[in-house]
Protein backbone atom coordinates (compact mmCIF):
# COMPACT_ATOMS: atom_id res chain seq x y z
CA UNK A 1 0.00 0.00 0.00
CA UNK A 2 2.87 2.34 0.70
CA UNK A 3 3.99 4.50 -2.22
CA UNK A 4 5.98 2.69 -4.89
CA UNK A 5 9.67 3.42 -5.10
CA UNK A 6 9.76 4.96 -8.58
CA UNK A 7 8.04 8.17 -7.45
CA UNK A 8 10.09 11.32 -7.80
CA UNK A 9 10.34 12.88 -4.34
CA UNK A 10 10.31 16.68 -4.26
CA UNK A 11 12.05 18.42 -1.34
CA UNK A 12 10.11 20.08 1.50
CA UNK A 13 9.42 23.80 1.06
CA UNK A 14 7.33 24.44 4.17
CA UNK A 15 8.30 23.60 7.71
CA UNK A 16 5.74 23.96 10.47
CA UNK A 17 7.51 23.91 13.82
CA UNK A 18 4.92 23.22 16.51
CA UNK A 19 7.11 24.27 19.39
CA UNK A 20 4.68 23.36 22.17
CA UNK A 21 1.13 22.22 22.90
CA UNK A 22 0.96 24.66 25.84
CA UNK A 23 -1.50 27.49 25.20
CA UNK A 24 -3.29 30.04 27.36
CA UNK A 25 -6.29 29.93 25.00
CA UNK A 26 -8.93 27.20 24.79
CA UNK A 27 -10.39 27.59 21.29
CA UNK A 28 -12.88 24.79 20.64
CA UNK A 29 -11.68 24.38 17.02
CA UNK A 30 -7.99 23.98 17.87
CA UNK A 31 -6.05 21.97 15.28
CA UNK A 32 -3.95 20.21 17.91
CA UNK A 33 -4.85 16.56 18.47
CA UNK A 34 -7.62 15.82 20.99
CA UNK A 35 -5.16 13.78 23.08
CA UNK A 36 -2.44 16.47 23.11
CA UNK A 37 -2.24 16.33 26.92
CA UNK A 38 -0.73 12.86 26.61
CA UNK A 39 2.35 14.31 24.92
CA UNK A 40 4.18 16.14 27.64
CA UNK A 41 7.76 16.05 26.36
CA UNK A 42 9.14 18.87 24.22
CA UNK A 43 12.20 18.99 22.02
CA UNK A 44 15.02 21.06 23.49
CA UNK A 45 16.70 24.02 21.83
CA UNK A 46 19.49 21.98 20.25
CA UNK A 47 16.99 19.49 18.77
CA UNK A 48 15.06 22.33 17.13
CA UNK A 49 18.22 23.95 15.79
CA UNK A 50 19.27 20.66 14.23
CA UNK A 51 15.81 20.20 12.67
CA UNK A 52 15.87 23.73 11.21
CA UNK A 53 19.36 23.24 9.82
CA UNK A 54 18.60 19.87 8.23
CA UNK A 55 15.28 20.94 6.68
CA UNK A 56 16.81 24.15 5.31
CA UNK A 57 19.59 22.19 3.67
CA UNK A 58 16.98 20.12 1.81
CA UNK A 59 15.27 23.29 0.55
CA UNK A 60 12.65 24.27 3.12
CA UNK A 61 12.31 28.07 3.04
CA UNK A 62 8.98 29.02 4.61
CA UNK A 63 8.99 28.39 8.34
CA UNK A 64 6.04 28.66 10.71
CA UNK A 65 6.65 28.85 14.44
CA UNK A 66 3.40 27.56 15.83
CA UNK A 67 1.93 25.56 18.70
CA UNK A 68 0.03 25.76 21.04
CA UNK A 69 1.31 29.20 21.76
CA UNK A 70 4.94 29.48 20.57
CA UNK A 71 5.53 32.48 22.87
CA UNK A 72 5.52 30.11 25.85
CA UNK A 73 8.91 28.77 24.66
CA UNK A 74 11.73 30.63 26.40
CA UNK A 75 14.12 29.93 23.50
CA UNK A 76 11.87 31.47 20.81
CA UNK A 77 14.19 34.43 20.11
CA UNK A 78 17.19 32.11 19.86
CA UNK A 79 15.35 29.83 17.42
CA UNK A 80 14.21 32.81 15.33
CA UNK A 81 17.81 34.01 15.11
CA UNK A 82 19.01 30.56 14.06
CA UNK A 83 16.28 30.44 11.40
CA UNK A 84 17.28 33.86 10.03
CA UNK A 85 20.94 32.88 9.87
CA UNK A 86 19.91 29.87 7.79
CA UNK A 87 17.87 32.05 5.37
CA UNK A 88 14.36 30.97 6.32
CA UNK A 89 11.38 33.30 5.94
CA UNK A 90 9.97 33.04 9.47
CA UNK A 91 6.32 33.37 10.40
CA UNK A 92 5.20 33.57 14.01
CA UNK A 93 1.70 32.15 14.36
CA UNK A 94 0.43 33.45 17.67
CA UNK A 95 -2.63 34.26 19.74
CA UNK A 96 -0.82 37.48 20.66
CA UNK A 97 -1.40 36.63 24.28
CA UNK A 98 1.72 37.57 26.25
CA UNK A 99 3.38 39.37 23.33
CA UNK A 100 4.96 42.52 24.80
CA UNK A 101 6.49 45.39 22.83
CA UNK A 102 9.88 44.41 24.20
CA UNK A 103 9.46 40.87 22.82
CA UNK A 104 8.28 42.23 19.46
CA UNK A 105 11.48 44.29 19.22
CA UNK A 106 13.68 41.36 20.28
CA UNK A 107 12.07 39.11 17.67
CA UNK A 108 12.51 41.76 14.97
CA UNK A 109 16.19 42.12 15.82
CA UNK A 110 16.56 38.34 15.74
CA UNK A 111 15.19 38.38 12.17
CA UNK A 112 11.54 37.40 12.43
CA UNK A 113 9.79 38.25 9.13
CA UNK A 114 6.15 38.38 10.07
CA UNK A 115 3.63 37.92 12.84
CA UNK A 116 0.21 36.39 12.36
CA UNK A 117 -2.18 37.34 15.13
CA UNK A 118 -5.41 35.44 15.60
CA UNK A 119 -8.57 37.18 16.73
CA UNK A 120 -11.60 35.07 17.51
CA UNK A 121 -14.40 37.56 16.82
CA UNK A 122 -15.11 41.28 16.31
CA UNK A 123 -16.46 41.85 19.82
CA UNK A 124 -14.78 41.46 23.17
CA UNK A 125 -17.58 39.33 24.56
CA UNK A 126 -17.53 36.72 21.80
CA UNK A 127 -13.74 36.77 21.37
CA UNK A 128 -13.17 36.09 25.04
CA UNK A 129 -15.87 33.42 25.12
CA UNK A 130 -14.43 31.50 22.15
CA UNK A 131 -10.82 31.92 23.33
CA UNK A 132 -11.82 30.85 26.81
CA UNK A 133 -9.56 33.67 28.04
CA UNK A 134 -9.92 37.44 28.43
CA UNK A 135 -7.72 38.46 25.53
CA UNK A 136 -9.55 40.75 23.08
CA UNK A 137 -7.98 44.07 24.10
CA UNK A 138 -4.49 42.54 24.31
CA UNK A 139 -4.84 41.12 20.82
CA UNK A 140 -5.86 44.48 19.34
CA UNK A 141 -2.95 46.19 21.07
CA UNK A 142 -0.57 43.54 19.77
CA UNK A 143 -1.90 44.06 16.24
CA UNK A 144 -1.06 47.78 16.52
CA UNK A 145 2.43 47.03 17.86
CA UNK A 146 3.10 44.56 15.05
CA UNK A 147 2.35 47.34 12.53
CA UNK A 148 4.31 49.92 14.49
CA UNK A 149 7.46 47.82 14.31
CA UNK A 150 7.28 47.34 10.56
CA UNK A 151 6.18 43.75 10.28
CA UNK A 152 3.69 42.72 7.62
CA UNK A 153 0.59 42.11 9.74
CA UNK A 154 -1.53 39.09 9.11
CA UNK A 155 -4.80 38.88 10.95
CA UNK A 156 -6.30 35.42 11.17
CA UNK A 157 -9.94 34.84 12.03
CA UNK A 158 -11.34 31.33 12.16
CA UNK A 159 -14.95 31.38 10.95
CA UNK A 160 -17.72 29.18 12.38
CA UNK A 161 -21.36 29.37 13.39
CA UNK A 162 -20.72 31.47 16.49
CA UNK A 163 -19.03 34.35 14.61
CA UNK A 164 -20.04 34.04 10.95
CA UNK A 165 -22.78 36.67 11.41
CA UNK A 166 -20.03 39.15 12.36
CA UNK A 167 -18.37 39.04 8.92
CA UNK A 168 -18.98 42.77 8.17
CA UNK A 169 -17.60 43.78 11.58
CA UNK A 170 -14.63 41.40 11.27
CA UNK A 171 -13.71 42.99 7.93
CA UNK A 172 -14.09 46.50 9.38
CA UNK A 173 -11.85 45.50 12.29
CA UNK A 174 -9.15 44.21 9.92
CA UNK A 175 -9.25 47.52 8.06
CA UNK A 176 -9.12 49.54 11.28
CA UNK A 177 -6.14 47.52 12.54
CA UNK A 178 -4.33 48.06 9.23
CA UNK A 179 -3.92 44.37 8.40
CA UNK A 180 -1.77 43.74 5.31
CA UNK A 181 -3.22 40.26 4.98
CA UNK A 182 -6.47 38.88 6.33
CA UNK A 183 -6.88 35.15 6.62
CA UNK A 184 -10.55 34.18 6.78
CA UNK A 185 -10.26 30.55 7.70
CA UNK A 186 -13.48 28.63 7.59
CA UNK A 187 -13.12 25.97 10.26
CA UNK A 188 -11.69 22.68 9.05
CA UNK A 189 -13.32 19.87 10.98
CA UNK A 190 -10.47 17.86 12.52
CA UNK A 191 -9.39 17.36 16.11
CA UNK A 192 -11.27 19.68 18.46
CA UNK A 193 -13.36 21.15 15.65
CA UNK A 194 -14.51 17.65 14.73
CA UNK A 195 -15.58 17.04 18.33
CA UNK A 196 -17.53 20.34 18.30
CA UNK A 197 -18.81 20.16 14.73
CA UNK A 198 -22.51 20.20 15.59
CA UNK A 199 -21.98 23.50 17.38
CA UNK A 200 -19.60 25.12 14.89
CA UNK A 201 -20.74 24.20 11.39
CA UNK A 202 -22.86 26.99 9.85
CA UNK A 203 -25.59 26.37 7.32
CA UNK A 204 -24.93 26.68 3.60
CA UNK A 205 -27.00 29.88 3.53
CA UNK A 206 -24.85 31.41 6.29
CA UNK A 207 -21.68 30.48 4.35
CA UNK A 208 -22.91 31.92 1.09
CA UNK A 209 -24.02 35.14 2.72
CA UNK A 210 -20.70 35.61 4.53
CA UNK A 211 -18.69 34.68 1.44
CA UNK A 212 -20.50 37.26 -0.69
CA UNK A 213 -19.69 39.95 1.87
CA UNK A 214 -16.02 38.88 2.00
CA UNK A 215 -15.81 38.81 -1.79
CA UNK A 216 -17.15 42.36 -2.14
CA UNK A 217 -14.68 43.54 0.51
CA UNK A 218 -11.79 41.81 -1.29
CA UNK A 219 -12.50 43.89 -4.39
CA UNK A 220 -12.82 47.07 -2.33
CA UNK A 221 -9.42 46.66 -0.63
CA UNK A 222 -7.53 45.23 -3.65
CA UNK A 223 -3.98 46.59 -3.64
CA UNK A 224 -4.14 47.45 0.08
CA UNK A 225 -5.03 44.23 1.83
CA UNK A 226 -4.73 40.66 0.60
CA UNK A 227 -7.41 38.21 1.62
CA UNK A 228 -6.66 34.52 2.07
CA UNK A 229 -10.01 32.73 2.08
CA UNK A 230 -9.92 29.15 3.32
CA UNK A 231 -12.95 27.49 1.78
CA UNK A 232 -15.44 25.49 3.81
CA UNK A 233 -14.83 22.18 2.10
CA UNK A 234 -17.94 20.45 3.45
CA UNK A 235 -19.95 22.70 1.11
CA UNK A 236 -17.81 21.96 -1.95
CA UNK A 237 -18.36 19.08 -4.36
CA UNK A 238 -14.68 18.44 -5.01
CA UNK A 239 -12.11 17.89 -2.24
CA UNK A 240 -9.22 20.21 -1.46
CA UNK A 241 -5.76 19.30 -2.79
CA UNK A 242 -4.72 18.62 0.76
CA UNK A 243 -1.14 19.60 1.67
CA UNK A 244 -0.48 20.14 -2.06
CA UNK A 245 -0.09 16.34 -2.14
CA UNK A 246 1.18 14.11 0.66
CA UNK A 247 4.91 14.37 1.28
CA UNK A 248 5.48 16.83 -1.57
CA UNK A 249 5.77 20.21 0.14
CA UNK A 250 4.83 20.29 3.84
CA UNK A 251 6.66 19.00 6.87
CA UNK A 252 5.26 19.40 10.38
CA UNK A 253 7.29 18.68 13.49
CA UNK A 254 5.14 18.17 16.60
CA UNK A 255 6.33 19.41 20.03
CA UNK A 256 7.70 15.99 21.01
CA UNK A 257 9.66 15.64 17.76
CA UNK A 258 7.28 13.45 15.79
CA UNK A 259 7.47 14.33 12.08
CA UNK A 260 4.10 14.55 10.32
CA UNK A 261 3.15 14.96 6.65
CA UNK A 262 0.29 17.17 7.86
CA UNK A 263 -0.51 18.52 11.29
CA UNK A 264 -3.52 16.19 11.71
CA UNK A 265 -1.71 13.04 10.56
CA UNK A 266 -0.95 12.06 14.13
CA UNK A 267 -4.52 10.69 14.31
CA UNK A 268 -4.12 8.32 11.34
CA UNK A 269 -3.55 4.66 12.26
CA UNK A 270 -0.47 2.62 11.40
CA UNK A 271 1.73 5.32 9.90
CA UNK A 272 4.49 4.92 12.51
CA UNK A 273 5.43 8.57 12.19
CA UNK A 274 9.16 8.91 12.89
CA UNK A 275 10.77 11.15 15.52
CA UNK A 276 13.53 13.65 14.78
CA UNK A 277 15.39 12.34 17.81
CA UNK A 278 15.90 9.03 15.98
CA UNK A 279 16.30 10.06 12.34
CA UNK A 280 17.56 12.96 10.23
CA UNK A 281 15.04 15.07 8.30
CA UNK A 282 16.46 13.67 5.07
CA UNK A 283 15.86 10.08 6.21
CA UNK A 284 12.38 10.97 7.43
CA UNK A 285 11.40 12.79 4.24
CA UNK A 286 12.86 10.33 1.77
CA UNK A 287 12.75 6.94 3.44
CA UNK A 288 10.12 6.78 6.19
CA UNK A 289 6.98 4.70 5.83
CA UNK A 290 4.80 7.64 6.94
CA UNK A 291 6.03 10.12 4.32
CA UNK A 292 5.86 7.57 1.50
CA UNK A 293 2.47 6.18 2.48
CA UNK A 294 0.29 8.36 0.23
CA UNK A 295 2.86 9.52 -2.30
CA UNK A 296 1.87 8.85 -5.89
CA UNK A 297 -1.40 7.15 -6.84
CA UNK A 298 -0.85 3.44 -6.11
CA UNK A 299 -2.56 3.59 -2.73
CA UNK A 300 -5.83 4.88 -4.16
CA UNK A 301 -9.11 3.01 -4.30
CA UNK A 302 -11.91 3.68 -6.76
CA UNK A 303 -13.31 6.11 -7.73
CA UNK A 304 -9.99 8.00 -7.27
CA UNK A 305 -7.78 5.42 -8.98
CA UNK A 306 -9.32 5.88 -12.42
CA UNK A 307 -10.41 9.50 -11.92
CA UNK A 308 -9.09 12.11 -14.35
CA UNK A 309 -8.92 14.68 -11.53
CA UNK A 310 -6.62 12.68 -9.24
CA UNK A 311 -3.55 14.68 -10.21
CA UNK A 312 -5.37 17.86 -9.30
CA UNK A 313 -6.71 16.98 -5.84
CA UNK A 314 -4.82 13.76 -4.91
CA UNK A 315 -8.09 12.23 -3.68
CA UNK A 316 -8.53 15.01 -1.12
CA UNK A 317 -7.69 14.83 2.55
CA UNK A 318 -6.58 11.54 4.15
CA UNK A 319 -7.53 12.67 7.64
CA UNK A 320 -11.04 13.60 6.50
CA UNK A 321 -11.42 10.24 4.73
CA UNK A 322 -10.39 8.49 7.93
CA UNK A 323 -12.53 10.59 10.29
CA UNK A 324 -15.70 10.40 8.20
CA UNK A 325 -15.48 6.97 6.51
CA UNK A 326 -13.20 4.99 8.82
CA UNK A 327 -10.74 4.17 6.01
CA UNK A 328 -7.92 6.60 5.27
CA UNK A 329 -7.45 5.21 1.73
CA UNK A 330 -11.01 6.08 0.73
CA UNK A 331 -11.91 9.04 -1.45
CA UNK A 332 -12.37 12.18 0.64
CA UNK A 333 -16.17 12.06 1.13
CA UNK A 334 -16.42 15.76 0.23
CA UNK A 335 -16.14 14.56 -3.38
CA UNK A 336 -19.54 14.05 -4.96
CA UNK A 337 -18.11 10.97 -6.74
CA UNK A 338 -17.44 9.30 -3.37
CA UNK A 339 -19.87 6.45 -2.57
CA UNK A 340 -19.77 7.80 1.02
CA UNK A 341 -20.60 11.39 0.04
CA UNK A 342 -23.85 11.06 2.06
CA UNK A 343 -21.90 11.41 5.35
CA UNK A 344 -21.32 15.08 4.50
CA UNK A 345 -25.04 15.80 4.26
CA UNK A 346 -25.54 13.85 7.51
CA UNK A 347 -22.98 16.12 9.20
CA UNK A 348 -24.70 19.22 7.84
CA UNK A 349 -28.15 17.98 8.92
CA UNK A 350 -26.87 17.03 12.36
CA UNK A 351 -25.39 20.51 12.90
CA UNK A 352 -28.62 22.13 11.72
CA UNK A 353 -30.69 20.00 14.11
CA UNK A 354 -28.34 20.95 16.93
CA UNK A 355 -28.67 24.66 16.13
CA UNK A 356 -32.46 24.38 16.18
CA UNK A 357 -32.55 22.29 19.33
CA UNK A 358 -33.81 23.91 22.51
CA UNK A 359 -31.17 22.27 24.69
CA UNK A 360 -28.01 22.37 22.61
CA UNK A 361 -25.02 20.84 24.39
CA UNK A 362 -22.17 23.22 25.30
CA UNK A 363 -18.88 23.65 23.39
CA UNK A 364 -16.01 21.46 24.53
CA UNK A 365 -13.10 23.83 25.14
CA UNK A 366 -9.55 22.83 24.35
CA UNK A 367 -7.76 22.32 27.64
CA UNK A 368 -5.80 19.59 29.37
CA UNK A 369 -8.73 18.43 31.47
CA UNK A 370 -10.97 17.90 28.44
CA UNK A 371 -8.07 16.40 26.49
CA UNK A 372 -7.56 13.72 29.13
CA UNK A 373 -11.30 13.15 29.46
CA UNK A 374 -11.87 12.73 25.71
CA UNK A 375 -8.81 10.61 25.01
CA UNK A 376 -9.48 8.14 27.83
CA UNK A 377 -12.83 7.09 26.35
- Which residues are CB-contacts of 342 (< 8 A; sequence separation ≥ 6)? none
Interface region with other proteins, contact rule CB under 8 A, candidates 117-125, 157-165, 168-176, 223-231: 223-231
Query: Residue 151 or residue 314: which is nearer to other proteins going by CB?
Result: 151
- Of these, 31, 91, 94, 186, which contacts other proteins (CB under 8 A)? 91
89 binds other proteins (CB under 8 A): yes
SS3 147: helix
C-alpha–C-alpha distance, residues 170 and 164, integer Å: 9
Interface region with other proteins, contact rule CB under 8 A, candidates 30-38, 113-121, 188-196, 274-282: 113-121
Nearest CA-CA partner of 181 in 204, 206, 147: 147
CA 113 to centroid of chain Cα atoms:
19
- Of these, 5, 41, 74, 223, which contacts other proteins (CB under 8 A)? 223
62 binds other proteins (CB under 8 A): yes
* Nearest approach, Cβ of residue 96 and other proteins (Å): 16
339 binds other proteins (CB under 8 A): no
* Nearest approach, Cβ of residue 61 and other proteins (Å): 6
Query: Residue 50 or residue 147: which is nearer to other proteins going by CB?
Result: 147
C-alpha–C-alpha distance, residues 297 and 4, integer Å: 9
C-alpha–C-alpha distance, residues 208 and 183, integer Å: 17
Nearest CA-CA partner of 16 in 196, 215, 262: 262
CA 369 to centroid of chain Cα atoms:
22
Interface region with other proteins, contact rule CB under 8 A, candidates 30-38, 147-155, 169-177, 309-317: 147-155
- Of these, 94, 116, 206, 292, which contacts other proteins (CB under 8 A)? 116
Interface region with other proteins, contact rule CB under 8 A, candidates 36-44, 149-157, 188-196, 292-300: 149-157
Interface region with other proteins, contact rule CB under 8 A, candidates 87-95, 158-166, 253-261, 284-292: 87-95
- Of these, 7, 9, 22, 61, which contacts other proteins (CB under 8 A)? 61
Q: ∠ CA 189-193-198 to the nearest 5 degrees?
A: 90
Interface region with other proteins, contact rule CB under 8 A, candidates 59-67, 94-102, 137-145, 184-192: 59-67
152 binds other proteins (CB under 8 A): yes
13 binds other proteins (CB under 8 A): yes
* Nearest approach, Cβ of residue 87 and other proteins (Å): 7
Residues 160-189 that bind other proteins (CB under 8 A): 180-181
113 binds other proteins (CB under 8 A): yes
Nearest CA-CA partner of 36 in 197, 192, 174, 172: 192
Please list the residues that pair with 229 across neighbouring strands. 184
Query: Residue 84 or residue 310: which is nearer to other proteins going by CB?
Result: 84
* Nearest approach, Cβ of residue 181 and other proteins (Å): 5
Query: Residue 11 or residue 168: which is nearer to other proteins going by CB?
Result: 11
Query: Residue 59 or residue 326: which is nearer to other proteins going by CB?
Result: 59
150 binds other proteins (CB under 8 A): yes
Burial 73-108 (b: 16+ CB within 10 A, else e): beebbebbbbbbebebebbbbbbbbebeeeebeebb
3-state secondary structure 289-315: HHHHCCCCCCCCCCCCCCCCCHHHHCC
The residue count of the chain comes to 377
How far, CA to CA in Å, does 38 sit from each of 45, 56, 71, 126, 260? 21, 30, 21, 30, 17
Instruction: Look at phi and psi of residue 328 and say left if phi exceeds 0, alpha if psi is from -120 to 50, else beta.
Output: alpha
Point out which residues bind other proteins (CB under 8 A).
Answer: 11, 13, 57-59, 61-62, 64, 87, 89, 91, 113-114, 116, 150, 152, 154, 180-181, 223, 226, 228
Amino acid sequence: MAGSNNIKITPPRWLLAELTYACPLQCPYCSNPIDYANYQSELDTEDWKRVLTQARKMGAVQLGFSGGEPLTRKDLVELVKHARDLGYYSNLITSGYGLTEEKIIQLKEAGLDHIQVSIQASTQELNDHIAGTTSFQTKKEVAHLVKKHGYPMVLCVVIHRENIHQMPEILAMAEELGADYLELANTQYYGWAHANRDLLLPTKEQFEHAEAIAQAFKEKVAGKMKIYYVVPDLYEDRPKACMNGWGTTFLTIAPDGVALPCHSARDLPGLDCPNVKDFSIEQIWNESKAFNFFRGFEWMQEPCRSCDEKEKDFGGCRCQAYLLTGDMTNTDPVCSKSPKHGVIQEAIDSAKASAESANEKPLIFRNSKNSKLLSST
